[in-house]
């Protein structure tokens, strides 16, 4: 036993020592142009050249590139259509991941938390969500206006024939996709973000309260945050905050909001004295596989808004695809080894949770770092999130399925480490850009504080009106029966 633990510790130490060496080797091979590229967040452009995102500054003595009219790129369009479907598949993956971890009497209710988010947010996004997130700025870089409500302006008619508005990421390059495609790609992000919160409230929240919460939280928290970070006139975008695919907008916001709603929801009946073991780890591991599969669309698809690129299906997508393979692999191993050392045995749930932690950690950095850095991010996310989950027992709060421990902690870690290891399209602390790390800290603090405070207000209102929590007898019987009059297993 002692020899085995010594071997595991040596393996972990070797990984920790070798990963920085890999990053240093990459930096030595990085072209100077990449190292000195301007530190800017991914440019979210608008469909007309006149209002497009700012192009990179031209070198002294050279004419500034002129804006050009957008031209439909069918390859990019096909890629983003596929990526949108991949991200949508993450919702059933999340339902399986969470559903396997609850007790058998709460499986369907847990599934419904994810599936109903698809319905509510799908309608909300079309009616008002897309406009609030990606419409022209309404005030101070805080939220979009209502000009794109009901997806207005994404299609026009000339002589009776439809003309589809094009989304152009870089105003000086012609590549573009239909804005309908971009809008639906972003819709999938909004769906899964609020669904992540359900992991904290599983097994005791009223279904009616959850439905109202999904609508209010997406409108009041997610949509403004997406505008802050991903829209060219968002205030954090202007500061240069880096978030390739949702470290702050998706994971930090959902994780910290999970912690906020728990302040009103309270612990499950019997927690922590009663054993509440997962009822089906095979379901959970199947969910992990589907999440990882869908995450390729989540991260690689976000090349559509990559820095200074109009090629959504090109090299940047390939880089994000590679880092989205490497980081979760490292995250699963890191969590497994940490658990092996701490508890004496590696668990299937631990490895799966580590994979998700690695995916969360790499999300904000996927297109900003190279493979060696992705290994560091994955290893760090696996260990940090494992410690975040252990913190639950010490602080005695009931985050049922570790939404905060994985997404809140992992999203924060990923956003911070992006400001340290970025070398592609932006530079971080390791490249001598200390300012970028400061900007990342500001973004984390602002997004986290906003999400936490607004979620507290939403939770308070729901708790005092329709009530957040089911009755004790209903909780003991199980939410499948008491909330849906169904049973997962007969």
Let me know if residue 171 belongs to a domain.
Answer: no
Q: Give the domain CATH number at 402.
A: 1.10.3430.10
Q: Is residue 380 part of a domain?
A: yes
Half-sphere exposure (Cβ direction) of 440: Cα atoms closer than 13 Å: 30
306, 169 contact by CB (below 8 A):
yes
Q: How far apart are alpha carbons 215 and 458 in whole angstroms?
A: 11
Helices (H), 125-206: 130-134, 179-201
Distances (CA, A) of 202 to 106, 221, 267: 8, 21, 10
- Cα–Cα–Cα angle for 363, 366, 368, nearest 5°? 130
CA distance 382 to 215: 32
Tell me whether residue 158 is in a domain: no
The rounded distance, in Å, linking the Cα atoms of 91 and 77 is 22
- Rounded to whole angstroms, the Cα distance separating 276 from 415 reads 32
Structural domain that includes position 250: 2-45+79-151+182-484
Task: Kindly state the DSSP code that residue 175 receives in the 8-state scheme.
Answer: E
Is position 344 within any domain? Answer: yes
Q: What pLDDT, on a 0 to 100 scale, did the predictor assign at position 247?
A: 96
> Cα angle at 234 between 170 and 435, to 5 degrees?
90
Give the number of domains in the chain: 1
Q: How far is Cα 455 from Cα 217, in angstroms, rounded to an integer?
A: 7
- Comparing C-alpha atoms, which of 276, 283, 385, 268 is closest to residue 330? 385
Examine residue 159 and state whether it is found in any structural domain, yes or no.
Answer: no
Closest CA to 235 of 170, 139, 307: 139
In a domain, 173, yes or no: no
Residue whose entry in the numeric block shows the structure tokens 């790390």: 437
Angstrom CA distances, 417 to 52, 326, 328, 420, stand at: 29, 16, 15, 5
Q: Could you report the average pLDDT of every consecutive run of 10 residues in the chain (490 residues)? A: 46 45 44 33 36 40 77 95 98 98 98 98 98 97 98 96 92 90 98 98 98 98 98 95 97 98 95 93 98 98 84 93 98 98 97 98 98 98 97 90 97 98 97 98 98 98 97 96 95
- How many Cα atoms occupy the beta-carbon half-sphere of 252 within 13 Å? 30
Is residue 410, in this structure, part of any structural domain at all?
yes
- For residue 447, whether the previous peptide bond is cis, meaning omega lies within 30 degrees of 0, is no
Give the pLDDT score at 61.
52
Whether the Cβ atoms of residue 426 and residue 38 lie closer than 8 Å to each other:
yes
Tokens encoding 221: 């928290």
The two structure tokens encoding residue 330: 């490292």
How far is residue 294's CA from residue 32's CA, in Å, rounded to a whole number?
34
CA 283 to chain centre: 22
Q: What gap in Å lies between CA 461 and CA 482, rounded to an integer? A: 23
Domain assignment of residue 23, yes or no: yes
Give me the residue label for tokens 């036993």.
1
């Amino acid at each position: 036993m002692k020899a085995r633990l010594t071997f595991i510790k040596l393996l972990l130490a070797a990984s920790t020592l070798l990963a920085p060496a890999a990053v240093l080797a990459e930096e030595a091979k990085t072209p100077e142009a990449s190292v000195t590229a301007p530190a800017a967040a991914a440019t979210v452009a608008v469909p007309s050249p006149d209002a497009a995102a700012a192009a990179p500054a031209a070198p002294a003595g050279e004419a500034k590139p002129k804006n050009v009219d957008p031209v439909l790129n069918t390859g990019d369009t096909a890629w983003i259509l596929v990526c949108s479907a991949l991200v949508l598949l993450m919702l059933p993956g999340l339902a399986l991941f969470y559903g396997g971890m609850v007790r058998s009497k709460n499986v369907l209710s847990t599934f419904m938390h994810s599936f109903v988010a698809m319905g509510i947010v799908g309608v909300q996004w079309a009616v008002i969500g897309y406009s609030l997130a990606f419409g022209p700025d309404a005030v101070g870089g805080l939220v979009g206006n209502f000009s794109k409500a009901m997806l207005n302006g994404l299609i026009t008619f000339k002589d009776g024939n439809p003309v589809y508005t094009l989304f152009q990421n870089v105003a000086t390059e012609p590549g573009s996709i239909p804005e309908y495609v971009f809008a639906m790609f972003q819709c999938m992000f909004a769906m899964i973000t609020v669904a992540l919160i359900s992991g904290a409230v599983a097994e005791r929240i009223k279904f009616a309260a959850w439905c109202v919460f999904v609508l209010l939280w997406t409108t009041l928290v997610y949509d403004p945050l997406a505008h802050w970070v991903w829209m060219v006139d968002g205030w954090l975008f202007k500061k240069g905050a880096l978030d390739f695919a949702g470290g702050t907008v998706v994971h930090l916001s959902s994780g910290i909001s999970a912690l906020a709603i728990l302040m009103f929801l309270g612990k499950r009946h019997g927690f922590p004295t009663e054993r509440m073991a997962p009822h089906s780890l095979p379901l959970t591991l199947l969910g992990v596989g589907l999440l990882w599969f869908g995450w390729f669309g989540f991260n690689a698809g976000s090349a559509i808004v990559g820095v200074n690129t109009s090629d959504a299906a090109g090299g940047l997508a390939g880089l994000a695809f590679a880092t989205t393979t490497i980081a979760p692999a490292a995250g699963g191993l890191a969590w497994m080894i940490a658990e092996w050392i701490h508890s004496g045995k590696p668990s299937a749930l631990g490895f799966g949770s580590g994979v998700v932690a690695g995916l969360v950690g790499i999300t904000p950095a996927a297109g900003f770092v190279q493979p060696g850095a992705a290994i560091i991010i994955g290893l760090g996310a696996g260990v940090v999130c494992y410690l975040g989950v252990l913190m639950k027992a010490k602080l005695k709060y009931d985050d049922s399925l570790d939404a905060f421990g994985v997404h809140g902690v992992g999203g924060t870690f990923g956003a911070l480490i992006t400001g340290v290891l970025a070398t592609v399209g932006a530079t971080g602390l390791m490249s001598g850009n200390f300012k970028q790390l400061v900007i990342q800290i500001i973004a984390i603090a602002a997004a986290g504080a906003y999400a936490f405070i607004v979620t507290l207000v939403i939770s308070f209102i729901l708790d005092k009106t329709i009530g957040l929590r089911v009755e004790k007898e209903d909780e003991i019987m199980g939410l499948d029966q008491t909330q849906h009059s169904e049973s997962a297993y007969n």
